[in-house]
């Protein structure tokens, strides 16, 4: 199977997404993860754009050893020299130089003739070759360029020493059939095209970036430029995870693979989302929260019987531990029982039937059914969760120059207990006091605070997840005092653990 190179431009084109800028430390973190993911080329930035970009490219070039490190440069001497300087520490460096080839850009932006553009492209490639053997040339706005001129430019830059020629759909204008034809045309008509790798770089203005990239691969492209989560200028670039998983899922169709370690995809997606603040939409292909979540009863039943009925990829292959059955009004008994089992509840058939009826009733009223709703429901079926631990009192001292201290009074069974503890913050002090009073061995896996209403008098809701001996329980607490809400959440989870242990 031929290998298609993955050129990741999350740190360059991806960073051009409004609001997605990253500092140097963040870029390094992403670059290291891209290395673990197995991308062939990391485009680390555009060094002439700013001193920060220069430093980031330099740092990536210095620290990241596996992939080729690329830097972008317009077809201008100063850009190319700056890119070369930033790439100096790289083990394998690529200078990526570009100039527009479409008449629209020539006339309105560059104010250059075709001949002048051709000469600038050739000169840029020649200069870049003085610094590295690995030079990529991009014909910006290639898909709106005249095909004969594009052929002429490709031939000339390859002759000048470009080993990769990129045919960007800069404005996301093309469609798969047309792009396929263009790549085939170049491969057939440019006499020295076999001396270079044809690369594609698609923007998503019409939502076709991935489809166009895949069409180009079928036409013979050997490199795809893409970004994690599809971030990038305007509507973004082709999403790396979608291109890679399409090739993996349909090997007979594409007869092409990549070097990507797909199990690293999810982690990379989440890292980029966290760092850029660009949320991954829940229904995003491959990495969205719902990509492996099944709600419809028929689907849930099918997946529980045989995964491949409704899943074309295995979540584990992307690095997601397992598919999620989302319980809602469309869910069936099979999924309901499976989820309860995961939560550690084994009900008799009769109990299950009654609990399922309650669940259906609840699902009609509530959009999302969370695990704690199920637990409450089962608790009602099996008898309420007894409040073995009860919060009787809590007082906190805390301040700018004071170590936070919590004094907690609890009821444990029929005993009343007090404890005073210090901590790194008021919540930490409170939790330490509760731990001392209950002797719990559970680990706090999650702590979340939400404001339920707006304003400073808002009711705060705290959710916690505790784990003990492989069992996980959630606890909730709400109060206008956020520390009290946190204490209540912890105690409610401890009561559930106590119930499970008996
Ligand atoms: O979209 C584009 O044309 C680009 C080039 C610089 C490759 O990002
Ligand atoms: Zn681009």
Q: Tell me whether residue 28 is in a domain.
A: yes
Taking residues 416-426, what's their average pLDDT? 96
Residues 494, 419: one domain?
yes
Give the pLDDT band (50/70/90) at residue 338.
Answer: confident
Residues 372, 393: one domain?
no
SS3 call for 231: coil
The CATH number of the domain where 149 resides is what? 3.20.20.70
Structure tokens at 87: 């790439």
Residues 119, 220: one domain?
yes
pTM for this predicted structure: 0.74
| Ligand 1, atom 7: closest residue by C-alpha | 138
For the CA of 237, the closest atom of ligand 1 is 1
Q: Which residue, 213, 246, 276, sits at the end of a domain? A: 276
Q: Which residue, 367, 382, 397, sits at the end of a domain? A: 382
Give the pLDDT band (50/70/90) at residue 201.
Answer: very high
Ligand nearest to the CA of 199: 1
For the CA of 98, the closest atom of ligand 1 is 6
Residues 15, 158: one domain?
yes
Q: Which domain holds residue 340?
A: 293-382
Q: Tell me whether residue 284 is in a domain.
A: no
Question: For all residues of the chain together, what is the average pLDDT?
Answer: 92
The CATH number of the domain where 441 resides is what? 3.30.160.270
Cα–ligand 2 centroid distance for 244 (angstroms): 19
Residues 181, 101: one domain?
yes
For the CA of 16, the closest atom of ligand 1 is 8
pLDDT of residue 351: 84
Q: To test the ligand 1 pocket, which listed residue (44, 83, 95, 168) has its Cβ within 8 A of the most ligand atoms? A: 168
Residues 201, 225: one domain?
yes
Q: Tell me whether residue 287 is in a domain.
A: no
Q: Phi and psi of 471, rounded to 5°?
A: -100, 140
Residues 161, 51: one domain?
yes
Ligand nearest to the CA of 141: 1
Q: What is the pLDDT of residues 82-117, one digit of tens each?
A: 999 999 999 999 999 999 999 999 999 999 999 999
Number of domains in the chain: 3
Q: Are 45 and 12 in contact (CB under 8 A)?
A: yes
Block residue for tokens 């002090």: 429
Q: Tell me whether residue 477 is in a domain.
A: yes
Cα–ligand 1 centroid distance for 127 (angstroms): 20
| Ligand 1, atom 8: closest residue by C-alpha | 13
Instruction: Report which DSSP code applies to 264.
Output: G
Residues 213, 231: one domain?
yes
Cα–ligand 2 centroid distance for 172 (angstroms): 9
Q: What is the pLDDT of residues 228-257, one digit of tens each?
A: 999 999 999 999 999 999 999 999 999 999
Q: How far apart are CA 108 and CA 141, in angstroms?
A: 13
Q: Which residue, 350, 382, 414, sits at the end of a domain? A: 382
Q: Tell me whether residue 285 is in a domain.
A: no
At 359, which helix (H) or strand (E)? helix 349-365
Give the pLDDT band (50/70/90) at residue 371.
Answer: confident
Instruction: Report which DSSP code applies to 383.
Output: -
Q: What is the pLDDT of residues 12-39, one digit of tens each?
A: 999 998 888 899 999 999 999 999 999 9
Q: What is the pLDDT of residues 389-417, one digit of tens each?
A: 999 999 999 999 899 999 999 999 999 99
Residues 373, 397: one domain?
no
Is the minimum distance from the CB of 137 to ligand 1 under 6 angstroms?
Answer: no
pLDDT > 90? residue 479: no
Residues 261, 408: one domain?
no
Q: At what angle do helices 114-129 and 147-160 cross, to 10 degrees?
A: 30
Q: How far apart are CA 448 and CA 478, in angstroms?
A: 12
Taking residues 177-196, what's their average pLDDT? 98
| Ligand 1, atom 4: closest residue by C-alpha | 170
Structure tokens at 407: 């004094």
Q: Tell me whether residue 283 is in a domain.
A: no
Q: Tell me whether residue 242 is in a domain.
A: yes
288-318 in b/e burial notation, b at 16+ Cβ within 10 A? eeebbbbbebebbbbbbeeeeebbebebeeb
């Amino acid at each position: 199977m031929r290998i298609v190179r993955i050129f990741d431009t999350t740190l360059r084109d991806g960073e051009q997404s409004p609001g997605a800028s990253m500092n140097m430390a963040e870029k390094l973190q992403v670059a290291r993860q891209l290395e673990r993911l197995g991308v062939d080329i990391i485009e680390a930035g555009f060094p002439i754009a700013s001193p920060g970009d220069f430093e980031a490219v330099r740092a990536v070039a210095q620290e990241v050893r596996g992939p080729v490190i690329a830097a972008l440069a317009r077809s201008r001497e100063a850009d190319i020299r700056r890119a070369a300087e930033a790439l100096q520490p790289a083990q394998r460096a690529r200078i990526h130089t570009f100039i527009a080839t479409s008449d629209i850009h020539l006339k309105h932006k560059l104010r250059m003739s075709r001949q002048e553009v051709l000469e600038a492209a050739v000169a840029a490639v020649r200069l870049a070759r003085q610094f590295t053997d690995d030079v990529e040339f991009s014909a910006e706005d290639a898909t709106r360029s005249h095909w004969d001129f594009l052929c002429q430019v490709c031939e000339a830059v390859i002759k000048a020493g470009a080993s990769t020629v990129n045919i960007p759909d800069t404005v996301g204008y093309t469609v798969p059939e047309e792009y396929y034809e263009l790549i085939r045309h170049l491969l057939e008509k440019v006499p020295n095209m076999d001396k270079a790798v044809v690369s594609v770089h698609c923007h998503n203005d019409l939502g076709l970036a991935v489809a166009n990239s895949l069409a180009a691969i079928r036409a013979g492209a050997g490199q795809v430029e893409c970004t994690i989560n599809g971030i990038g200028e305007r509507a973004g670039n082709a999403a790396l995870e979608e291109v890679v998983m399409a090739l993996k899922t349909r090997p007979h169709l594409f007869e092409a693979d990549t070097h990507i370690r797909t199990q690293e995809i999810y982690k990379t997606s989440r890292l980029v989302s966290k760092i850029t603040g660009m949320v991954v939409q829940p229904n995003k292909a491959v990495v969205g929260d719902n990509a492996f979540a099944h709600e419809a009863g028929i689907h849930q039943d099918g997946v529980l019987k045989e995964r491949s009925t409704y899943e074309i990829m295995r979540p584990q292959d992307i690095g997601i531990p397992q598919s999620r059955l989302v319980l809602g009004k469309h869910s069936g008994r099979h999924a309901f029982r499976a989820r309860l089992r995961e939560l550690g509840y084994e009900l008799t058939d009769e109990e299950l039937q009654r609990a399922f009826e309650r669940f259906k009733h609840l699902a009609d009223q509530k959009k999302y059914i969370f695990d704690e709703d199920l637990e409450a429901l089962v608790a009602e079926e099996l008898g309420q969760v007894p409040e073995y631990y009860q919060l009787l009192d809590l007082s906190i001292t805390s301040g700018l120059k004071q170590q936070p201290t919590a004094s907690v009074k609890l009821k444990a069974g029929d005993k009343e207990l007090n404890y005073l503890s210090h901590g790194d913050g008021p919540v930490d002090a409170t939790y330490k006091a509760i731990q001392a009073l209950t002797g719990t061995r559970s680990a706090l896996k999650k702590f979340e605070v939400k404001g339920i209403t707006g304003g400073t008098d808002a009711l705060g809701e705290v959710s916690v997840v505790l784990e003990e001996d492989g069992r996980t329980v959630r606890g909730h607490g709400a109060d206008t005092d956020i520390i009290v809400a946190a204490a209540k959440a912890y105690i409610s989870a401890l009561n559930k653990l106590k119930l499970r242990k008996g």
